[in-house]
Structure 1
């Protein structure tokens, strides 16, 4: 789908839009699975999770171009489960970053990252943080290319994540 105007507008998702957010997560999971990447699985996600993010102090965003939903991300203000002793109040954490596959190849991911970074900085945070599956080499490189610095690998059970931050 070709876009003439690439002005990205991000806004907080409304409670009645939880199913749209869920659909984006599940769509991304299906796409990842089709590429033999199993960091997300569609069945891992449900409306309860979306609603929990929407009510626990996190900020769930939807992104639009020309009134069409092109992606979503969630910002959290703490992540001690993943970041452990490195978790701090100077950081904003990007989670559930997903691009509508109908808009692939249009740099929507970079626009979403830029938007997330701006929203984190508007909250007065100095560090932008995220994690991704350590074995997803392409995604790890994507974040490095955007200027994120690798901090360390975190392992939980059979799953390990690469932790990244940007100042």
Structure 2
């Protein structure tokens, strides 16, 4: 399998991919991703070069967004001074479930973050999705805190305020990496 940057041609596939994930999550009893993601916002992240596709031949096996930009209102000023990359929208297709592709995508993200000069790989997860939180803990993340709307910095999150981090570090993810070298974020 190879990992490569998403292109504008991937927009419809990514929207369908997210819809599939939302249906699966709903069947598990969570409202995570129940609202459709705005296509224009997704296109902006594709054009920014922060969305990556895991491809198995012509099929999309997974996707991950990796950015140096934090979701507003989640992390403190002190935390934001630390070189960090943030994981968003990690999704694995149902046809590829059970193969640890999500864990390997997290390893790829941690490796890419390390190469960019990051100290941390961070994420925010759905506050009420305990199974997802346990998944990230199993993959080496440590829970930092849960930010609720009343606690939020500058207005903060609506529903995705479970914060976790793990050190950015080299990893053998096993994918053929067709992404350009990351830009340095070291401060």
TM-score, scaled to structure 1: 0.86
The 8 Å contact of residues 5 and 49 in structure 2, kept in 1 or not, is answered as: no
Matched, 1:144 2:137: yes
Quote the RMSD (CA, aligned, Å): 1.8
Alignment of structure 1 residues 87-98 onto 2, 5 Å: 87-88=80-81, 90-98=83-91
Aligned pair count reads: 158
Q: Give the drift of 1:89.
A: 5.2
The 8 Å contact of residues 61 and 73 in structure 1, kept in 2 or not, is answered as: yes
Partner in structure 1 of residue 46 of structure 2: 54
CA distance in 2, matches of 1:99, 1:160: 19
Given the alignment, which residue of 13, 17, 41 partners 2:10?
17
The structure that is strand-richer by fraction is: 1
Partner in structure 1 of residue 67 of structure 2: 76
The 1:91–1:66 alpha-carbon spacing in structure 2 relative to 1, beyond 3 Å, is same
CA distance in 2, matches of 1:18, 1:9: 18
Structure 1: tracts of 5 or more residues without a match: 1-7
Q: Give the drift of 1:105.
A: 1.3
Matched, 1:112 2:105: yes
Partner in structure 2 of residue 166 of structure 1: 166
The 1:80–1:73 alpha-carbon spacing in structure 2 relative to 1, beyond 3 Å, is closer
The structure that is helix-richer by fraction is: 1
CA distance in 2, matches of 1:72, 1:160: 19
CA distance in 2, matches of 1:80, 1:69: 26
Structure 2: tracts of 5 or more residues without a match: 151-157, 168-187
The 8 Å contact of residues 82 and 119 in structure 2, kept in 1 or not, is answered as: no
The 8 Å contact of residues 5 and 51 in structure 2, kept in 1 or not, is answered as: yes
Partner in structure 2 of residue 155 of structure 1: 148
Q: Residue deviations 1:74-96, cap 9 Å, x none?
A: 11112151224332350000001
The 1:108–1:160 alpha-carbon spacing in structure 2 relative to 1, beyond 3 Å, is closer
Q: Residue deviations 1:84-111, cap 9 Å, x none?
A: 4332350000001111111111111112
